[in-house]
Amino acid sequence: MQNSEQKLSTSQPLDSLIGGKWISNAKKIDVTNPVDGSTLANVSTASIDDCLAAVDAAENAFASWKATAPRARAEILRKSFEIMIAEQESLARLITRENGKVLSDARAEVAYAAEFFRWFSEEAVRIDGDYRRAPSGANWLMVSRQPVGVALLATPWNFPAAMATRKIGPALAAGCTVVLKPAGETPLTALAIAEIMQRAGVPDGVVNVVVPSPSGPAVSAMLQSNKIRKLSFTGSTQVGALLLAQAAEKIINCTMELGGNAPFIVFEDADIVAAIDGAMLAKMRNGGAACTAANRFFVHEKIYDEFADGLTARMNALVLGDGLDAKTTVGPLVSKSQQQQVAKLVEQAKSFGAKVACGGNASTDGSFGYFPTVLTDVSFDAPILQTEIFGPVAPLVRFKDTDDILAHANNVEHGLVSYVYTRDLGRGMRIAESL
């Protein structure tokens, strides 16, 4: 792969934002370009003290932000939306450069991300309460909704813009202040959004962004602070479980969006062309790096070969390359470790008897790419069916009996979403109820 751009914008922040100030440190972390493994940027590493200072800044800003008129909060969010849309192309190119996804997906993400700011700008002025007579009739009951306080937000690398705005937007609309910790692989997008919010007029300390060492205990340290009142985390189930346990010690309210392992079931009466179209969307959106991605394809034996051949042809036609190149339809994975994880799952599946219909190998040009892959005759025992792939790999399993395949589809810790293709509406509804 050839890297089609070399330099970041001179206005791109490379430091953590704490209390309205960009805090630079001598220690840096490298942000890697997935196209060629080169260093895209050196971002200042926030120390534990920096992270705790960000919590303090958010706490100090909370009282005034809570008292800010809902309309004023709404206008800042609306202005942030407008700037993001005006700068959609530059933000999209930034996402592609640090994440690897194709530019069309990055543009869609910016639009999707900006929409959270617009939506919650409109919700900020609609925070209601309740007023009613007590059941006894002796008095009246009044309920008002209050912001909880400082919210700690941790976001993943697969949607670095959308996951940030989806957390920041509702928090600010409610009157909370935030400390955002983006994924270490993709901090640049979060820092760019913070700078946009500064231009939109967000007061100092209301939005703080810290970029600690990826392997450090920053989130755990911040959770020990008595000033954190809310944790919102999107990421792996393993990390989420650890953070839930730590948050429980302080009785911190948590919202978790963790992993998925979605089944994609195609019955013998399905429209095969529609099913293949749906499979391409469900599998290849964001290069397969989405918690809603189809991970396990269960196809009825009567149409298995036709579906497998059709899906293989479509996957074979995809072009792996630099996401900024207009000819590219699949970008590289975000990191070398993610590339190795996908390769490991494919090799394990092969050891369990799976056959490679297309792909099945990583790129050898120095990028973190993995070729779009279809695996056939995958064993129910293969680890790939129990693991979130987060890559462009479609494992196909043949089935005959509906009850049997439902048992297999449900035989996972976390499903999150399911896809079913059948022309029989009644069966579709029954399957949906059973998954």
3 lies in some domain: no
246 lies in some domain: yes
pTM beyond cutoff 0.85: yes
Residues 262-311 pLDDT 10s: 999 999 999 999 999 999 999 999 999 999 999 999 999 999 999 999 99
pLDDT at 3 over 80: no
165 lies in some domain: yes
Mean pLDDT of the chain: 96
- Is there a single domain that holds both residue 133 and residue 61? yes
Number of folded domains that form the chain: 2
pLDDT at 380 over 60: yes
pLDDT band with cut points at 50, 70 and 90 for residue 5? low
65 lies in some domain: yes
- Is there a single domain that holds both residue 142 and residue 271? no
CATH of the domain at 292: 3.40.309.10
Residues 138-170 pLDDT 10s: 999 999 999 999 999 999 999 999 999 999 999
Q: How far apart are CA 389 and CA 398, in angstroms?
A: 19
Residues 342-373 pLDDT 10s: 999 999 999 999 999 999 999 999 999 999 99
- Is there a single domain that holds both residue 134 and residue 272? no
7 lies in some domain: no
307 lies in some domain: yes
Q: How far apart are CA 157 and CA 95, in angstroms?
A: 10
- Is there a single domain that holds both residue 134 and residue 250? yes
Indicate the residue among 257, 276, 309 that finishes a domain.
Answer: 257
- Is there a single domain that holds both residue 302 and residue 289? yes
- Is there a single domain that holds both residue 45 and residue 192? yes
Domain of residue 192 covers 16-257
- Is there a single domain that holds both residue 70 and residue 177? yes
- Describe the chain by its helix, strand, coil percentages, rounded to 5: 45, 20, 40
Task: Report the relative pairing of strands 262-266 and 294-300 from DSSP bridges.
Answer: parallel
- Is there a single domain that holds both residue 65 and residue 160? yes
- Is there a single domain that holds both residue 248 and residue 291? no
pLDDT at 9 over 90: no
Taking CA atoms, 230 is separated from 48, 147, 215, 266, 269, in Å, by 19, 10, 22, 41, 48
Residues 58-92 pLDDT 10s: 999 999 999 999 999 999 999 999 999 999 999 99
What is the average per-residue pLDDT within 251-257? Answer: 96
Residues of the chain with pLDDT > 90, as a percent, come to 95
The residue written with tokens 């202040």 in the block is 177
Q: How far apart are CA 182 and CA 264, in angstroms?
A: 31
- Is there a single domain that holds both residue 208 and residue 312? no
> In this structure, are residues 330 and 372 in contact, taking their beta carbons and an 8 Å threshold?
yes
> In this structure, are residues 336 and 369 in contact, taking their beta carbons and an 8 Å threshold?
no
- Is there a single domain that holds both residue 88 and residue 228? yes
Taking CA atoms, 432 is separated from 22, 46, 403, 417, 420, in Å, by 49, 46, 13, 10, 8
Indicate the residue among 239, 257, 275 that finishes a domain.
Answer: 257
CATH of the domain at 52: 3.40.605.10
85 lies in some domain: yes
Q: For the sheet containing 294-300, what is the strand order? A: 355-358, 373-376, 393-399, 294-300, 262-266, 419-421
4 lies in some domain: no
Indicate the residue among 194, 229, 257 that finishes a domain.
Answer: 257
pLDDT at 390 over 80: yes
Which amino acids are annotated catalytic? Answer: 257, 291
- Is there a single domain that holds both residue 287 and residue 208? no
Which tokens go with 370? Answer: 């993995």
